[in-house]
Amino acid sequence: MSDAAPAAAPWIGGGTRIVGVIGWPVSHSLSPLIHNAAFAALEMDWAYVPLPVPPGNVLEALRGLRALGFAGANVTMPHKTEIAALADELTDDARLLWSVNTLVVTTDGIVGHNTDCPGFDRFITRDAGFDAADKTALVFGAGGAARACAVALARARLRELVIALRDPSHAQSLRVAVDDIGTKVTAVTFDDVPTVTADLVVNATPLGAHGESLPIPALGPDVLVVDLLYRPRQTPLLAAARAAGASSYGGLGLLLHQAGLAFELWTGRPAPLDVMSAAAMTELAAPGGGETPEG
């Protein structure tokens, strides 16, 4: 946990709109910090709070959002899939990925969205300057984050997607997500990874959060490497990328873009991404600020 002085709490009055983040745990989430910074910058009467929800209490939490008048919430691990089954309505992407990371509370019920997919597209094209058309990508993992990345890349006309898993038989849900888009999908074991050549490498697993090493594919100056972890600031994969001269990014860009899309869904206003980015980077740069991954 950071030793930096905490940011001033948002002013909360009788008309304040409340949103938050549902997960277990949520104590290390950057989302309250970046959203409250955005609300303050735009002088909006909104506040964002952590909502720790242990496994087994998700349905009660969703009912509570409506009962307490929340405008919405983000969803983080381990509840993204369960909430996809419990929301009153799902957007097309949330249904396709069977993963919800943003909830909007309406008069008719709770709508589940997935902003990871468009958020990754914005990050990879705007921040990293990567054009996926006719390229090959290697993605570690097949969970919700990996599926969101895969769909975004396939929609950008990726030629081939290689999925690296300890057990390649677990790739089926990802195959289904991109099945109608046209990208070729190949699943390989971790042992096969050193033989893989790709233009883009994405780690969409928790491996590296505590120093774990992933197998390293062929890397060089023409390869872009993205580790979706934003804590720690340098994972073993990013260190290997930099040593090989590859371009590399941590997961902060995706966090900001998916958060910005959620902000827009709740408020109807463009998110001040520069403010949100500055708040996150200040926290991560503080002593201890980059040590513990979000759950």
Distances (CA, A) of 78 to 19, 23, 145: 19, 6, 12
CA distance linking residue 91 with residue 70, whole number of Å = 19
The angle that helices 273-285 and 252-267 make with each other, rounded to 10 degrees, is 140
User: So what's the pLDDT on residue 2?
Assistant: 43
Q: What is the pLDDT of residues 231-272, one digit of tens each?
A: 888 999 999 999 999 999 999 999 999 999 999 999 999 999
Confidence bin at 108 (pLDDT 50/70/90): very high
**pLDDT exceeds cutoff 50 at 221:** yes
**Which of the following is catalytic: 35, 79, 80, 122?**
80
Q: What is the mean pLDDT of residues 14-19?
A: 95
Mean residue pLDDT of the chain comes to 92
Least reliable range by pLDDT among 6-10, 67-71, 137-141, 219-223: 6-10
Confidence bin at 293 (pLDDT 50/70/90): very low
Distances (CA, A) of 69 to 14, 66, 85, 109: 12, 5, 22, 12
Q: What is the pLDDT of residues 136-159, one digit of tens each?
A: 999 999 998 999 999 999 999 999
Buried b (16+ CB within 10 A) or exposed e, 79-94: bbbbbbeebeebbebb
What does residue 163 show for φ and ψ, rounded to 5 degrees?
-105, 125
Residue 80 is a catalytic residue: yes
Question: Are residues 227 and 254 in contact, defined by beta-carbon separation less than 8 angstroms?
Answer: no
User: So what's the pLDDT on residue 212?
Assistant: 95
**pLDDT exceeds cutoff 90 at 4:** no
Q: Domain extents for the chain?
A: 17-114+253-285, 117-250
Confidence bin at 289 (pLDDT 50/70/90): low
Q: What is the mean pLDDT of residues 61-67?
A: 96
Q: What is the mean pLDDT of residues 122-130?
A: 97
Confidence bin at 217 (pLDDT 50/70/90): very high
Confidence bin at 28 (pLDDT 50/70/90): confident
Q: What is the pLDDT of residues 163-208, one digit of tens each?
A: 999 999 889 989 989 988 989 999 999 999 999 999 999 999 999 9
User: So what's the pLDDT on residue 288?
Assistant: 60
Buried b (16+ CB within 10 A) or exposed e, 5-23: eeeeebeeeeeebbbbbbb
User: Which class in CATH covers the domain with range 117-250?
Assistant: alpha beta
Name the residue among 116, 49, 122, 107 with its Cα closest to residue 84. Answer: 116
User: Which class in CATH covers the domain with range 17-114+253-285?
Assistant: alpha beta
User: So what's the pLDDT on residue 180?
Assistant: 85
Confidence bin at 3 (pLDDT 50/70/90): very low
